[in-house]
Structure 1
């Protein structure tokens, strides 16, 4: 979904950093082999994630929702040399696909894959994080936030994807639309929780940056 005119959006993309070759290959294979390929972050948002990670230079990153690993590799670009990235996904059919591309990158040994329910896995991670990216099932965004907030280092950044939910956040809520309701509740939480300060970026489907105080 474009929140600015498409021609202007094209200009923004054309004058931003180019997509690395490995990620171009990952995009091609995702569209050829994987169902719902548009769930991938895409080249422009990927460069945004990469830039934010490089600015933070995190030692430990947590990603909730791996899909084919595109955003994982973008976030890994900012890792410290001795840093780690833990990424969680529930779809076992994508595990080997992800690993193939992780190992083709220079960050393969730093990326730890976790297969299963993130609500069960996160409490078992014995580390604190400088950067977290939430991009999984929207109805658990609030639960993910409550699990990770105490695992964030002071000044740590939480990135949350799809917070504009194709513009549905400003439409009259259908009582049966549980996903939009969950996104609205999450956005309200980020605005009101005194442990974080938050700004919403109208990038693609909406990206929130929240900083732990």
Structure 2
């Protein structure tokens, strides 16, 4: 459940979502629900933009857990930090500014929830760098896998062919890939 302050910030950002390619509000609600259900301990977001999806994720995190979020554009990262503070979530978010490939080398993991909404042609590169740092029980959510089918083809194929991951592509909006590692009936 979002607080009134979080709802105000999300509403203001949604009104201008086309400016920063924010996720659709329905995907934000799905992210919030998934995080609430799975209660990850080390969540990661690749592609902060102005913070819309990060607010949806961070608002559902268990106490003491912080979302690590990566944004290469310093201007957007500053706007996101401002929006996290306005939503009362500054203490639940750890922004990182820089290229995801370089930052992923330095982040220790193990990640148990990853949301990807960044440079589409780089999804496969994120996947190969993330995989060794993923928890045995983990979820990956990636946006725009249908609208950018060509750019995300190698990523989608790698996830589909990985023997430890179950995956589905939802047709909502621009296509959302959900991948789960951990076995049937297992939870975080």
Tell me the TM-score normalised to structure 1 length.
Answer: 0.78
1:152 paired to 2:127 = no
Partner of 1:161: 143
String of CA shifts for 1:148-202, please: whole Å, max 9, x gaps.
1122212210001101016xx4xxxxxxxxxx2x312221111111131111111
String of CA shifts for 1:13-44, please: whole Å, max 9, x gaps.
xxxxxx9222112334x45xxxx526111211
Contact 1:130 1:153 in 2 (8 A): yes
Q: CA–CA distance in 1 between the matches of 2:152 and 2:39?
A: 29
RMSD: 1.7
Q: Name which one, 1 or 2, has greater alpha-carbon Rg.
A: 1
Q: Give 1:77 deviation, angstroms.
A: 2.1
Query: Which 4+ stretches in 1 moved above 6 angstroms?
Result: none
More moved, 38-47 vs 19-28: 19-28
String of CA shifts for 1:82-114, please: whole Å, max 9, x gaps.
101111111111122111111122321121111
Q: Tell me the secondary structure at the aligned position of residue 153 of structure 2.
A: helix
Q: Which ranges of structure 1 fall in alignment gaps of 5 or more residues?
A: 1-18, 170-179
Partner of 2:171: 202
Q: CA–CA distance in 2 between the matches of 1:184 and 1:154?
A: 24
Question: Which of 78, 99, 113 is matched with 1:131 structurally?
Answer: 113
Contact 1:165 1:183 in 2 (8 A): no
Question: When the two structures are aligned, how many residues end up with a matched partner?
Answer: 177
Question: Which of 178, 181, 184 is matched with 2:153 structurally?
Answer: 184
